[in-house]
Amino acid sequence: MTRVFPLLAALLLPFAASAADPYAELRAYPTGGIASVGAWFPQGDRWDLGVSAVYDRAERGDAGRHDDESGDGFGIGIEARRSAGTAHPRWFYGVRAELLRLSIDWRDDDGARGNSEVTVLQPTARVGYRLPLGSTQWDVEAAASLGAEINISTSGEAVGEGAIVLLGMAVRPH
């Protein structure tokens, strides 16, 4: 996974001076949080395609398969979204998929401890609202996502996965 970030950066650099819109986003879910930076590539008046570098911090406590699970990791994301149209141009909806490599430390009440390295696929559906940030050249976006956290590869014992709900805020130029 560490080789992916230089590749992602190399792919994004040529677009930095073009029509790409950079963004930064923070999302929270009941047992953790996600920070991401990326770029949107407008596809006409109503569609955007996005790519991002992602950091995920999980503090699952006993919400996983063990009595206490916590950890973090990095990944990449892709997204497609569409504005709701001319009648409601600030509303948007779309889909996002992130591929993450997490290192999860776990322990059980019986004294067992360990670490699991997990590759996670996180597909979500999103809806949000975009609002100009005062008289600046920036917009702020609020979004809600519903999806799944799917462990597709695990080195070590199995750890938590399942449904996920996220609430997020992002900033991007308009």
Q: Per the confidence metrics, is the pTM higher than 0.95?
A: no
Paired with 107 in beta bridges are: 68, 113
pLDDT for the residue 150: 97
Which of 14, 25, 16, 13 minimizes the C-alpha distance to 169?
25
Three-state SS at 168 = strand
pLDDT for the residue 20: 86
- How far is it, in rounded angstroms, from Cα 163 to Cα 42? 30
Whether residue 5 is predicted with pLDDT greater than 90 in this model: the reply is: no
What mean pLDDT comes out for the span 146-162? 96
Structure tokens at 55: 């950091």
Give the domain range for residue 129: 4-173
CATH of the domain at 148: 2.40.160.20
Number of domains in the chain: 1
Three-state SS at 10 = helix
Q: Which helix (H) or strand (E) holds 147?
A: strand 138-155
- How far is it, in rounded angstroms, from Cα 155 to Cα 66? 15
- How far is it, in rounded angstroms, from Cα 148 to Cα 145? 10
State the pLDDT confidence band at 64, using cuts at 50, 70 and 90.
confident
Phi, psi of 14 (to 5 degrees): -65, -25
Answer with the residue of higher pLDDT: 3 or 39. Answer: 39
